[in-house]
Amino acid sequence: MQIIITGGGGFLGQKLAHALLHSSLSFSELLLVDIQEPQALADPRVRCLQADLTAPGVAESLISKHTAIVYHLAAIVSSHAEQDFDLGWRVNLDTTRSLLEACRQARPGIRFVFTSSLAVYGGPLPEVVDDGTALTPTSSYGAQKAMGELLVNDYSRKGYVDGLALRLPTICVRPGKPNRAASSFVSSIIREPLQGEQTTCPVSPALRLWLSSPATVVNNFLLAATLPRGDGRSINLPGISVTVGEMLDALTKAGGQAARDKVSFAHDPAIERIVASWPGQIDNSRALASGFMADWTFAGIIDSFMTHDLQEAS
């Protein structure tokens, strides 16, 4: 049995790989695929492959009759997809279709876990969003993820794959350096101050966000491998609702006033427009009933970062 992680060299892909290797799932190969060769892991079941998923024939070469689970994490992030229209569509939509079609041809019924996003929502939203709220993306990235969900649902309806589309909360706190995601500041305003570095926040303190820690998202990925087939293929993963101001209050308690003083505000209307279009509060009831997890508090998210990832972030 083979498990594939696209985007396997990235932050989440690496954490998921480690979690799978220590899980109760039985498999003979874990294939990590990325545009840059993924970091090798000390386990004979792991194989790393540098590959461009947008190149003709690559998706077809990955999937075989031995493939049981595909975690499709590879993507161009929000601001990058907005700035490079053609690349965003090639990576975020065309690659998804190629992988689904490869699964269909190799062995119908492969569990296909697609990482979607809150960016599928936009514009005027109800105060609390649920899985049935209409998708109204206001960015190219959001449109690409929404179309990816539709593909996963249709291929699943036809029995070509056994798909799930997981709408991830904004993940905080990510170790490492800032990336080109519109939400990159969410981690930066915690990570950098705790390392003694200055950072800027491009949005209002009143902006409400829907967040999850990396560890909780990875645990939810593990559940998605074996979740029984249900009626709805698209699921809003659980998170917690917190404003930027509340995040900074928690930073002050964790790192002191010196850490809080490292954060200044420099409003960026483009960033705020994108992030403010995403829901800040979601009804978790369906996901929680299915066994997915949520963090308890934002203070707990900071504590987890300081305990497990702060050294890696340096």
Are the C-beta atoms of residues 163 and 153 closer than 8 Å to each other? Answer: yes
At 237-261, the pLDDT tens digits run 999 999 999 999 999 999 999 999 9
Distances (CA, A) of 235 to 107, 114, 154, 273, 300: 24, 10, 15, 24, 24
Say how far apart CA 172 and CA 186 lie, in whole Å.
7
pLDDT score recorded for residue 310: 80
| Residue 53's pLDDT band (cuts 50, 70, 90) | very high
Say how far apart CA 136 and CA 279 lie, in whole Å.
11
Residue of 121, 141, 155, 160 marked active site: 141
pLDDT of residue 230 exceeding 80, the answer is no
Mean pLDDT score, 78-89: 91
At 141-194, the pLDDT tens digits run 999 999 999 999 999 999 999 999 999 999 999 988 888 788 999 999 999 999
Are the C-beta atoms of residues 155 and 199 closer than 8 Å to each other? Answer: no
Cβ-proximal residues to 294 (8 Å cutoff; 6+ apart), any chain: 212, 216, 238, 239, 240, 284, 288
Active site residue 141: yes
**Nearest of 77, 137, 67 to residue 103 by alpha carbon:** 67
pLDDT score recorded for residue 312: 57
The predicted model scores a pTM of 0.94
What does pLDDT average to over the chain?
94
